[in-house]
Every structure is written in structure tokens, then in C-alpha cells.
Structure 1
Amino acid sequence: MIAVAPPAERPGRTLVLGSTSRYRRELLERLHIPFDVESPEVDETPHSGESPRALALRLALAKARAVAQRHPQAVVIGSDQVADLHGDPLGKPGTHERAVEQLRRMRGQTVVFQTAIAVVCAATGFEQVDLAAVSVQFRSLDDGLDDNEIEHYLRTEQPYDCAGAAKSEGLGIALLRQIDNDDPTALVGLPLIRTCRMIRAAGVRLL
């Protein structure tokens, strides 16, 4: 387990982020509270016929539960994001070729990024799960989003560890026409408004 905050008096229970995502770690650091990071080691393979929304919720809860079993006294955050293209789940591309394919499919389309969060404390029996759905409209060929722009974006950002290869906090914002959501950091990977509400309910003091 890796400590990612300097030693300090912990706000109530120990907080653990059950994720290896650097994006989620950087977002949680915005709250200026100490926390640890641990890999949940959960199989992320979708079930047959599973919707993107159901997949994100299941994996977020599975990740939080897996880490909570190892650290029963801690408050554990699990999260998962799945890009939902008309019911078809798009995960992390992993390779340049798959990222090109995903972005071509999303071009001119409205994609819902299903970002789920779960908070679990095994010692108290606390368990909550929520979902922030972010509706994202991608530019079309008529808007100039051609293969050259996609190639330039991918070579610049290399967002192969992002759902749908969409890294909106960087150059990926230039791919988009519109974003509609109620939790501003959800598209990056961790909806902080929901996170704050849930970890407060679990016993973590923020302010």
C-alpha cells in the first residue's frame, strides 16, 4: 500500500482509495486530507448482456469491498468509469489502434460516461454506491474532427488508460462540442461532490 499524503492527524477513520488510477489519486488530493492507495485487484470483465451503467456500479462496489476486506477499519473508496455508446460499453483502449477505433465510433455521437463511486467500511457495515452520468457530445467530421486530429490528439496525450480514450482535462477537450453533468470532476474519473458526501457519511471529517 502506498501512502500519498504527508504524515498528519487523520480525519476520523483511515481513508483508502481502492484504485491505481493516477487521475483519481490527483482528484482526491484536492481535498487536502491524508489517504492511502491500494490496488483492488478486481476482474473488470463485463458480464454477458450487462449494461455500461450496471457494469460501472458493480465494479465500483467490488473494488471498494475487495480493499475493505483487507482493511476493515478503513473507509474505502472504489470507483469505475465506463463510456456508454448507445448501450455499448467502451473501456480503456490499452493500445493506440483500439483508441483510434473508439474515437472514430464516438465521432459525432453523444456518449454517456457512467462514473460510479462506492464507499465501504467493513467495521461499521457502512456501504453506499452512487453514479454520476456525464453526457458528452463529440465533434463530427463536419466540425473538422477528422482522422488527422484524432491521430494528433492520441500521439500528444496517449490516453490509453482512459475510458473511451477521452482525456477531457487535457487536449481531449478539443474533441468535444458539449458536456452536461452535475458533478464537475466526474468525467475525469471521480465525482468529488458525491465522494465528499459519502465519505462524510462514513465518518471522515473534511473541514
Structure 2
Amino acid sequence: MPFSPSATRAVILGSTSRYRRELLSRLRLTFDTASPDVDETPQAGETPQALALRLALAKARDVARRFPEAVVIGSDQVADLDGEPLGKPGTHERAVAQLQRMRGKTVVFQTAVAVVCQATGFEQIDLAPVRVVFRDLDDGEIERYLRAEQPYDCAGSAKSEGLGIALLARIDNDDPSALVGLPLIRTCQMLRAAGVKIL
């Protein structure tokens, strides 16, 4: 249920991702960041959607336990290739393998966001899927892209906000910021419901 917008609570982004920090900064809110302590290992049989939702909520709850008076934002993104979750590659070799598997295919980037305030009992979570069609990339394009941008900390090995856009044929979504890592339209809706003034 919504809370009074007159309430002034600290806002904390439960993430150390520079991409999410940059996105949230667009709202011109004063906020802090905190690193959640969450095991991100997928559970047996867990779908990419369920994994993203579970981790976003777990991150928000973990930080909210430490800062119970604050409004905490948690988010997670999982690249969904035919129902299989693809995480951050971490290495050049894994990134090559991911992009080779995704070329010519549609990948759904499942981006979840959760907003939690322990003091008020507020908790909301939502999913902002983005359908991305990859071009039929050749190995040379993949290698040149990875050497240029080194997106090893990005789910699916591509930065759509940078040179990674050249890998793509099409993007379908209703929240453009979701592909970068934090769906701002849904985040704004949740923050307002939690009593945080945006404008």
C-alpha cells in the first residue's frame, strides 16, 4: 500500500554496479549505495525470470535489514537464452562463447527491481523484460567488439548503451533503461508508492 509522500527517508541503492548508480542518478535523488551479501547461484530448475526476481528481492531485503529506516532498491538482470540463464561472463573466453551462442537469436534480458522499507513494511517487486535480437555475428566481429569494450561485467556480454548496440538487430521493450540494468519507469512507480518524492 502507498505511504505518505511527506515522509522523508534515506534512499539506498543495494548495488555496487556503476551502471545502476549512473541510471539512478538520472532521477536527481540523494541516495547512498550499499553492497548486498547475496549468493547469486541459480537454484535447481529456476527460470531466468524467477532467478532475477528472487535476487532483486534478496538484495533489497539484505540491505534493508542493515538500514531498516531507509527505502532500499535492489535489482538483478539475467540474460535468458531459450530458458537458460546467462550471467556475467567474467572472462574474455566466456564472453566469446556467450556471443557465439547468441548470434542470430533472440535473447530476453530479464531485469527485476525491488523496493523495500523494513520500517514501514513496504515491499514491491516487478520484472521488466527486454527482447533483444542479435545480428548473425561472425567471429571477427565478436573478437573486435570484446577487445574494444571488454563487457565482462555485463550479463550477456554486451553493452547496449555503448558499442554493443552494433551487435544488435532489434530491441523490444517498454522501459529503455531496463536493458542497461535498472528499469527506471518501474523504479519511479515503486519509489513514489514507498513515499519518495521524485519531482
State the TM-score bracket (shorter-chain normalisation): over 0.9
In the alignment, which residue of structure 1 is the partner of 2:23?
Answer: 27
Following superposition of structure 1 onto structure 2, how do residues 31-180 of structure 1 map, counting pairs within 5 Å? 31-140=27-136, 145-180=137-172
Q: Which amino acid aligns with 2:47?
A: S
In the alignment, which residue of structure 2 is the partner of 1:4?
Answer: none
Q: Which amino acid aligns with 2:139?
A: D
* Uncovered stretches (5+) of structure 2, i.e. residues with no partner: 1-6
In the alignment, which residue of structure 2 is the partner of 1:201?
Answer: 193
In the alignment, which residue of structure 2 is the partner of 1:8?
Answer: none
SS at match of 2:156: helix
Residue 41 of structure 1, CA deviation: 1.5
Post-superposition CA distance 1:144-201 (Å, at most 9, x none): x211111111111110000011210000000000000000100000000000000110
In the alignment, which residue of structure 1 is the partner of 2:3?
Answer: none
Separation in 2, partners of 1:198, 1:12:
15
Q: Which amino acid aligns with 1:120?
A: V
The 4+ residue runs of structure 1 with deviation greater than 6 A are none
Residue 15 (structure 1) aligned to one of 11, 23, 27: 11
> How many aligned residue pairs are there?
193
Q: What is the TM-score when the length of structure 2 is the normalising length?
A: 0.96
In the alignment, which residue of structure 2 is the partner of 1:6?
Answer: none
* Uncovered stretches (5+) of structure 1, i.e. residues with no partner: 1-10
Residue 42 of structure 1, CA deviation: 0.6
SS at match of 2:187: helix
Residue 12 of structure 1, CA deviation: 1.8
Post-superposition CA distance 1:5-49 (Å, at most 9, x none): xxxxxx821000000110000000001110000000111000011
Separation in 1, partners of 2:197, 2:93:
44
Separation in 2, partners of 1:149, 1:55:
31
Residue 54 of structure 1, CA deviation: 0.2
Residue 191 (structure 1) aligned to one of 176, 179, 183: 183
SS at match of 1:104: helix
